[in-house]
């Protein structure tokens, strides 16, 4: 499989459908995008309904104090709409907008190997945590890691993050193996 085909197969989960809101088929939408309303900019969203792929179109939306509510085309009553409750909403990674050089989507960093300047392998990125100051890589050890510690490494380009190579599936960090996480 070529790289473009692999990228087209990669799903990026943008949110999850919540419970029904009202009597006309509106649903709460838990958006994982930043800001949350960015999910509304996608013309087509994907999900699985009864283990079958389903294409969704948002035909109306509202931002409320407690989050987004949306109406999906064809889901016009609470009974029909409730079938979407709990469904993940995703797009193919190829539908994501291009980023400036040196910027990355979180899903691109997950699974990358993390090594320090001394060549010690810490493990792979399991997930990222958004904090007030900066994002944090959660690095879980692998069988080849220098030790069995999980590490929390701040994602600070040029200070801690020396290089991110998506091609080589590797992140190089200026982080000593003895630092406490």
- Across the chain, mean pLDDT equals 91
Q: Rounded to an integer, what distance in angstroms lies between the CA atom of residue 153 and that of residue 56?
A: 37
Task: Look at residue 7 and give its three-state secondary structure.
Answer: helix
* Residue 179 falls inside a structural domain: no
Residue 38 lies in a domain: yes
Q: Please report which confidence band the pLDDT of residue 8 belongs to, taking 50, 70 and 90 as the band edges.
A: very low
Q: How many domains does the chain have?
A: 2
Q: Whole domain around residue 125: which residue ranges?
A: 106-173
Domain containing residue 89: CATH number:
2.40.30.60
The model's pLDDT over 145-174, given as tens digits with 9 standing for 90+, comes to 999 999 999 999 989 999 999 999 999 999
Last-in-domain residue among 40, 66, 95: 95
Q: What is the mean pLDDT of residues 49-67?
A: 93
| Same-domain status, 127 and 77 | no
Strand partners, 20: 27
Answer yes or no: is 155 within a domain: yes
Distance CA 36, CA 52 (A): 26
Is 147 in the same domain as 91? no
């Amino acid at each position: 499989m070529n790289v473009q085909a692999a990228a087209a197969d990669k799903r990026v989960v943008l949110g999850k459908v919540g419970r029904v809101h009202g009597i006309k088929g509106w649903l709460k939408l838990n958006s994982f995008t930043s800001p949350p309303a960015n999910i509304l900019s996608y013309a087509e969203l994907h999900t699985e309904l009864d283990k079958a792929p389903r294409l969704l179109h948002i035909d109306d939306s509202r931002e409320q104090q407690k989050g987004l509510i949306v109406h999906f085309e064809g889901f016009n009553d609470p009974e029909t709409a409730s079938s979407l409750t709990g469904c993940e909403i995703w797009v193919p990674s190829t539908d994501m907008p291009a980023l400036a050089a040196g910027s990355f989507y979180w899903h691109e960093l997950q699974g990358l190997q993390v090594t320090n300047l001394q060549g010690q392998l810490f493990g792979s990125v399991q997930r990222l945590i958004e904090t007030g100051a900066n994002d944090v890589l959660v690095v879980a050890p692998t069988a080849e890691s220098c030790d069995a510690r999980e590490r929390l490494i701040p994602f600070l380009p040029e200070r801690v993050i020396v290089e991110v190579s998506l091609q080589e599936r590797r992140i190089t960090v200026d982080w000593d193996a003895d630092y406490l996480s």
